[in-house]
Chain A
Amino acid sequence: MILGRVVGELWATRRHAGLDGQKLLIVKPHCWYCPPFDVAHLIAIDRLGAGVGEDVIVCLGEPARRSIDDEAEQTAAGGAAAAPGYQGAAFYPVEAAVMAIVDNVDGIELP
């Protein structure tokens, strides 16, 4: 996971069906890969309600994709007893999701 700050929000009318109803945030990582580069940003889906200016933890890769399927897919399947995370979300174009909104950081100084 990486630590970043929400710097904006994105809206799109025409979007992939898998992204329907998902809020999209623009997140600027505090430090990502070495060396930290100032202009870097990424877009993450947000289900926690993070606002601009808040620090968030962003999960990258496949877990982010799996995280959005649980409710939608379970209801679509009529609550069928498939293991959570195994269904259609695997095909969604998502690879970053907000997993926590940071209250407090100890150990490093954030700008």
Chain B
Amino acid sequence: MKRALIVGELWATRKVDDLVGRRLKLVVEHPQPGQATAQELGEAPLTVAIDTLDARNGQEVLVAYGSGARNVLLPGPHNRHILADAAIALLVDDADEGAD
């Protein structure tokens, strides 16, 4: 999982069945989203993640990749047919990173 910041939203009418009723968010990966500058965010990797938690714009989230993303959408052993490789697993309230 990686920390990321929600920076936008996507809409699509034509999509695979697995995506029907799902929201799509644009997220920027960053190790410390709370302290990221605009320039850092502009250069950071931008990915698309499925959002089941109704995250707001600017919210810090944790994004699960790979089979972890499928487990967000359908927990259990029979989810391998789902076409998804990134999903928002949780919304971060607070992170304590110590003195450093």
Residues of A whose CB lies within 8 Å of any CB of B are 1-3, 30-35, 47-50, 57, 59-64, 66-67, 69-70, 83-86, 97, 99-108
What's the least CB distance linking A29 to chain B, in Å?
9
Question: Is the CB–CB distance between B16 and A47 below 8 Å?
Answer: yes
Question: Is the CB–CB distance between B46 and A66 below 8 Å?
Answer: no
A-B contact list, 11 entries, CB within 8 Å: A3-B26, A30-B46, A32-B45, A34-B43, A60-B85, A61-B66, A63-B84, A64-B83, A83-B80, A99-B19, A106-B8
**Size bin of chain B's contact surface:** 35 or more
Most A-side CB within 10 Å, residue of B12, B13, B83: B83
What's the least CB distance linking A3 to chain B, in Å?
5
Q: For chain B residues 4-50, which have a beta carbon within 8 Å of chain A?
A: 7-16, 18-19, 24, 26, 43-50
